[in-house]
Amino acid sequence: MEISGRRLFSRGLVLLAGLGFTAPTVAQTAATEPFRGKTLSIVFGASAGGALDLQAQLLSRHLGDHIPGKPNIVVSSMPGAVAVLPRHLQNVAPKDGTTIGLFFSSVLVQPQLRDEKDSSYDANKFSYLGSSFADVPACMASKSAPVATPADILRNELIVGALPPGTTGGDFTTLIAGLLGAKFRLIRGYPGFQGEAFALEKGELQVVCVSWGAMKARYPDILSGKTDFRVFLRGDAGDDSELAKAGIAPLASLAASDLDRRALEFFMSQFEIASPFALPPNVPAATVEMLRKAFAETMADPAYLADAAKMKIDVSFASAERVREILDRINRAPPEVTGRVKKALAFGQ
């Protein structure tokens, strides 16, 4: 019995030693690799097939390689009103970093354009990872449309598609009509750019205004003159963009007053961060920093950049700090400017 007892005691020591060694290792792994064995979701707030979908799909294929533990990443959509996703992100999504939201940059501007504040979400409370894309809204027309110069939209009535309010295509199109007086006969009801593109191809629409990124992805040769459509107007006012170098006229050239130019500048500021990826409020700071680091590394990953080139997506990384700077600038916009944009976006309502 004595020998047997010693053996049992020795085995117990070995077992305890083993447990003593294993427990800290598991705890350490959980602390340094909190996403090991988990699935992260990138949820984009739009219908499938548009610019946000492309950005989400692209990121999902590479972000996991830069997150400790290499979690699986899936993509899903949450179409509907633009505010649906930010509401979900703030009020429903888990606060553990497993849900990443990607919404239209208008989510950052809309709080300044509402008569009554929507308390269901606050864009200032999200933890931003950064933005992967600086976009430019643009307008394209069928070659048979009566648009020889941008000024023709002030003279000739045009049948124009309009996406839902809050989307790039919806707000940009409405702003052109409401702020500049373009003679747009807006045809609403299209859920996304793919539906508008089909209508344009069938001759049901003459003009579509939408994200240049989505436009170029569907019509990669549109600037070459080899398609049945042409780009005739761009939203940015600079000289360095692809559209500027192609000789496409800026929207600001049609502004009739200094206030209209300032209103356009305010509205367009959001597109420097056209693909803002965000976490819900109250995600632990260490988790936020881990995902921000992974996001920044992904933006410089040669495999990610090569994949983007194949998809005809231009990558323009803006850090979390840059997103915050632009958001703060939007929040400081004077009321005469936000009021002018608000009035313009109410066109046709």
pLDDT of residue 266: 93
Whether 273 shows a pLDDT value over 70: the answer reads yes
Most confident of 30-39, 73-82, 122-131: 122-131
pLDDT of residue 29: 57
List, in sequence order, every residue forming a beta bridge with 40; answer none if it has no partner. 73
pLDDT of residue 48: 83
Whether 293 shows a pLDDT value over 60: the answer reads yes
Helix or strand run (H / E) with residue 127: strand 127-131
- Give the pLDDT confidence of 200-209 residue by residue, as tens digits: 999 999 999 9
**Contact in structure between 297 and 66 (CB atoms under 8 Å):** yes
What crossing angle do the helices spanning 168-180 and 258-268 adopt, rounded to 10°?
A: 180
pLDDT of residue 167: 84
pLDDT of residue 75: 97
pLDDT of residue 312: 82
Edge-to-edge order in the sheet of strand 39-44: 72-77, 39-44, 99-102, 276-279, 127-131, 318-319
Dihedral pair phi/psi, residue 295, rounded to 5°? -65, -45
Q: Go through the domains of the chain in sequence order and give each one's CATH number.
A: 39-134+271-340 (3.40.190.150), 137-269 (3.40.190.10)
Whether 145 shows a pLDDT value over 50: the answer reads yes
Task: Tell me the C-alpha distance between 333 and 349, whole Å.
Answer: 24
pLDDT of residue 3: 45
Nearest CA to 124 out of 281, 277, 266 is that of: 281
> Running DSSP on this structure, what letter comes out for residue 250?
B
State which amino acid sits at residue 147: V
Task: Tell me the C-alpha distance between 202 and 194, whole Å.
Answer: 12
pLDDT of residue 117: 60
Contacts of 329 (CB under 8 A, 6+ apart): 269
- Single pTM value for the model: 0.79
Across 135-146, average pLDDT:
93
Task: Tell me the C-alpha distance between 46 and 79, whole Å.
Answer: 4
Contacts of 60 (CB under 8 A, 6+ apart): 42, 73, 74, 75
pLDDT of residue 213: 83
Task: Tell me the C-alpha distance between 272 and 314, whole Å.
Answer: 12
Whether 227 shows a pLDDT value over 70: the answer reads yes
Whether 73 shows a pLDDT value over 50: the answer reads yes
Whether 235 shows a pLDDT value over 80: the answer reads yes
Average pLDDT, the chain: 88
- Give the pLDDT confidence of 11-44 residue by residue, as tens digits: 544 444 455 545 545 455 556 788 999 999 999 9
- Give the pLDDT confidence of 253-263 residue by residue, as tens digits: 999 999 999 99
From the CB of residue 252, how many other CB atoms can be counted at a distance below 10 Å? 16
Where does the pLDDT of residue 8 fall: very low under 50, low under 70, confident under 90, or very high at 90 and above? very low
